[in-house]
Structure 1
Amino acid sequence: MSRSVFITGGNRGIGLAIARAFAAAGDSVAITYRSGEPPVGFLAVKCDITDPEQVEQAYKEIEEKQGPVEVLVANAGVTRDQLLLRMSEEDFSTVIDANLTGTFRVVKRACKGMLRARKGRVVVISSAVALRGETGQANYAASKAGLVGFSRSLARELGSRGITVNVVAPGLTDTAMSGAVAEERRAEMLNQIPLGRIGQPDEIAAAVRFLASDDAAYITGAVLPVDGGAAMGH
């Protein structure tokens, strides 16, 4: 049965791979994008999740065109990498607002319809960096670690209404974001991955689709690393 699926930041990289995976399964898929031309094949809604009004308008458009959101994948995020002593207040607050507070906004709005329906799937995209830390990413790691506590709290709040809330924590993945990492640093990161290779966006998407499926109905509050073993034990 086709479901109404909403993926924030679904216009490229991991988000686009997730959108394609749900569409291939026959779901109706809406994505947000902030700039440029969105990919075809989805209901593309221009939305900056740091703006509450834009979030509300996005939901109204999605509900009107493909019904109340039954599966939410909170994927949108930004980086502003810098060593702590060089990191500005703006570098820190921008990342927290987009990655953590922005996720709060989109999840809260989705839960209104899910509570009425007494069912729903929320999958939050965190990062292996949240579990193990990373030099120059104190702001990003803090925002992504915050998503774990946020999601697990919601899993407790919403479980009795048939709503599951889970986290996927990707490691180094073959996207434009990882492509911007200096070659020397990239080699160091690969050396820390037991499987010895970079992840593919489709591999992240498969984990997300599983957690949104009927097969995962008894899984909530879980953090599923998809990182080649890089953060194991954290």
Structure 2
Amino acid sequence: MEKRFALITGASGGIGSQIALKLAEENYSLYLHYNANEEAIQNLMRQLQPFDIEVIPIQADLSTKEGYKQLVRNIFALHAIVLNSGNSYYGLISDMDEQVVSEMVQLHVTSPFQLTKELLPKLMYQEKAAVVAVTSIWGQTGASCEVLYSMLKGGQNAFIKALSKEVALNDIRVNAVAPGAVSTAMLQSFSAEDLELIKGDIPMGRMGNPEEIAEAVAFLLSDKAAYITGQVLGVNGGWYT
């Protein structure tokens, strides 16, 4: 059987690593992108050893203009892209440093756009292919003190909707998963009291977990979602619906 290859950007993070494990269960061979956290990637590769798949780690800093080129150079056969890299900034818009703004725009918008653009010919070569972006609930509804992050995630959602129309006749499906509050390192800066307040706002009364986001990504990549494209799937426990 022909190998199916998926690229996961940000594979060293809590959500990215769970997506990798879930896609390994689905028999995808994996390109695991990371930037600084090599230890997490090595640990993930050990977890993937029981699976009969090929695993290729690729280091690249997608917050720089050259980062996506480094990643593209190491990609060969490709059937799926999971755009998952990102980080957040919590604070007033008036306090944001210009360099931080530039790096976040590059990481969340410019690099995913350029990366997808460069890799589309490889997807078009396949009989069926898919792109899934992991965006955010804030890209749908916006968040005070996360204005830039909200804007960038909203841009990702618009990118997904537009690209889906452009490549639909090439049998490439393009969707997004927009998580709500998920128990990952991204929430470590919040106090226990703040986290309890967030849980109180969520109708299901709890945070999501990375495995639940991974399940949604795997579904959108699968043939079960063969007639789904251009959608942003909220996985948020009923928060801000």
- Report the TM-score, using the length of structure 1 for normalisation: 0.91
1:87 to 96, 102, 112: 96
**Matched-pair contact (CA < 8 Å) for 1:49–1:105:** no
2:214 aligned residue:
205
Corresponding residue SS for 1:114 = helix
Is the aligned partner of 1:31 residue 2:49? Answer: no
In the other structure, the counterpart of 2:56 is: 43
Q: Which amino acid aligns with 1:16?
A: S
- Unaligned residue ranges in structure 1 (runs of 5+): none
- What is the CA distance between 1:172 and its match in structure 2? 0.6
- Report the CA distance between 1:169 and its aligned residue: 0.1
Aligned residues: 228
CA distance in 2, matches of 1:119, 1:110: 14
Deviation at 1:11, TM superposition (A): 1.1
Pair 1:11-2:12 in alignment: yes
Could you say if the C-alpha distance between residues 120 and 22 of structure 1 is closer, same or farther in structure 2, counting changes exceeding 3 Å?
same
After superposition, the Cα gap between the structure-2 partners of 1:85 and 1:58, relative to the gap in structure 1 and judged at 3 Å, is: closer
Conserved? CA contact 1:74–1:123, under 8 Å:
yes
Work out the CA distance in 2 between the residues paired with 1:26 and 1:212: 12
> What are the within-5 Å matches in structure 2 for residues 1-234 of structure 1?
2-35=3-36, 36-37=38-39, 38=41, 39-40=44-45, 41=48, 42-63=55-76, 68-117=77-126, 119-232=128-241
4+ residue stretches of structure 1 with deviation over 6 A?
A: none
Say if 1:52 and 1:105, in contact at 8 Å, map to a contact too: no
Structure 1 counterpart of 2:59, which letter? K
Q: Is the 8 A contact 2:161 2:230 kept in 1?
A: yes
How does the TM-score come out when normalised to structure 2?
A: 0.89
Taking a change above 3 Å as real, the CA distance of residues 226 and 181 of structure 1, as seen in their structure-2 partners, is same
Q: Cα deviations across residues 165-205 of structure 1 (Å, max 9, x unaligned)?
A: 00100011111111222223222211211100010100000
Evaluate the alpha carbon distance shift between residue 52 and residue 84 of structure 1 in structure 2; reply closer, same or farther with a 3 A threshold. closer
Q: Structure 2: 5+ residue runs without aligned partners?
A: 49-54
2:225 and 2:97 mapped to 1: Cα distance? 41
Report the alpha carbon displacement of residue 89 of structure 1 after superposing the two structures with TM: 2.5
2-side partners of 1:56 and 1:96: how far apart?
Answer: 17
Distance in 2 separating the partners of 1:82 and 1:199: 23
The one-letter amino acid of 1:4's match is: F
In 2, distance between residues paired with 1:151 and 1:28? 24
Q: Deviations over 1:51-100 (max 9, x none)?
A: 4544233233231xxxx211100000122221122223233222221111
